[in-house]
Structure 1
Amino acid sequence: MELPRYGGKFGKNQMLFDLGYSDNMSVTQLRQAIEELDSVFDLVMVAERMDESLVLLRHLLCWSLHDVVVFTKNARRQEVKPTLDPQTRQTLRELNSADALLYDHFMAKHRRAVLEFGARRMADEVSALRSLRDEYFEDCGAREVKGKDSTLKFKEYSGLVSSYVTSNNSDQNCLMLSLPELPLVDTVRRKQLKVLEEMRAPS
């Protein structure tokens, strides 16, 4: 089904579109795209399995639990998520059938990775990660701000997602954990560009 994209950016099969693929592919093309993506990415993180994904990421990169502590960004709060009836869910799944296949593929891969990692071992690490996140939240004097707040220095793009403020702005970790999505991305990009410039500078 051909549907126009809102602003040329938003529409059906958004995940595949964001990854550079057409939102209207044949079954053969879709299978090839999924195989390509599977070969390119060592790990695809799953939003509703984020803590498990972070544990897998830390082991893949030989990081510590401290390296994967995060505060939730750009996620609608539970109380403002719309309730969809079964028919609407089915319609959306059919409309986004290519994305659904992509999701099912990597969700199945995630489940296999967890089983290979060890279900009990994963549960223990997820519990440790959540406890460590709570410690950071307390040590940073962080609090969650629900909805828009004009007094915030850094604001999320929507009142449907939470913002965070910290009483410990002198701590770089606390500041980075509390930054909204867009300022955080801008900060990371600036640091990456600085590193790139330093690498290219003549010695």
Structure 2
Amino acid sequence: MQELMCMTDEDLVYLQLKTRTERVAVDPVLSEKIRSWNKLDTAIYDHFLAVFNEKIKAFGTTRMAQEVMKLRRNIAAVNQQCVESVDTQREHGWIQRNVLRQGSPEHCRKMNWGEVKYGDHIRELQRSWTSIPPQPALNLRENKLRATQIEILGEEVFQQTTKR
């Protein structure tokens, strides 16, 4: 898979974030109910699992097992380099977080970013690569939306719809 996506070993290494302290076993009856409730999601998952398994077969299961072992070694090395300890969050005691080693390199800090901070970082990088102007502030967008709705619906209809 790494070759198909032109990724390096470093591209695949990660730190686990926001892990739960405990796992809860789900009995088979409840598991089947959950799959039924999420029938469409389950069908999509099953389809791509089959595609993934075919790609593993074409790649070679032994070779894939070796690649997985290499990835696990690389992840363990990064954990050793970056993580001092793991403790629980104050607000959510059931979720664990990484405490980075003092003076950790930048790649350790970036791997420890949450999804919001990392998403903001990616968007900032993308802005520097494109000529798309930054999005206006939320209040300006809301004002423009409100003005457009009034223009289309009329003031009276707009007032009625916003009273609900």
Q: What is the TM-score when the length of structure 1 is the normalising length?
A: 0.57
| Structure 1 alignment gaps of length 5 or more | 1-55, 151-157
Structure (1/2) with the larger helix percentage? 2
Match of 1:193 in 2: 127
Shift of 1:74: 5.0
Match of 2:47 in 1: 105
Match of 1:95 in 2: 37
2:81 is aligned with 1:139: yes
**Structure 1 segments of 4+ aligned residues over 4 angstroms from their partners:** none
Change (3 A) 1:163 1:189: farther
Instruction: Give the aligned CA root-mean-square deviation in angstroms.
Output: 2.4
The answer (yes or no) to whether the contact 1:163–1:180 under 8 Å persists in 2 is no
Match for 2:109: what amino acid? L
| Structure 2 alignment gaps of length 5 or more | 134-164
Shift of 1:120: 0.9
Match of 2:28 in 1: 86
Say which SS state the counterpart of residue 107 (structure 1) adopts. Answer: helix
Q: What is the TM-score when the length of structure 2 is the normalising length?
A: 0.69
Q: Which has the higher contact order (CA 8 A, sep 6+)?
A: 2
Structure (1/2) with the larger strand percentage? 2
Say which SS state the counterpart of residue 59 (structure 1) adopts. Answer: coil
Say which SS state the counterpart of residue 86 (structure 2) adopts. Answer: strand
The answer (yes or no) to whether the contact 1:69–1:129 under 8 Å persists in 2 is yes
The structure with the larger Rg is: 2
Identity of aligned residues (%): 26
Take 1:76 and 1:192, find their aligned partners in 2: how far apart are those partners? 32
Q: How does 1:1-203 map to 2 (within 5 A)?
A: 56=1, 58-77=2-21, 79=22, 81-145=23-87, 147-149=88-90, 158-169=92-103, 171-197=105-131
Take 1:92 and 1:179, find their aligned partners in 2: how far apart are those partners? 31
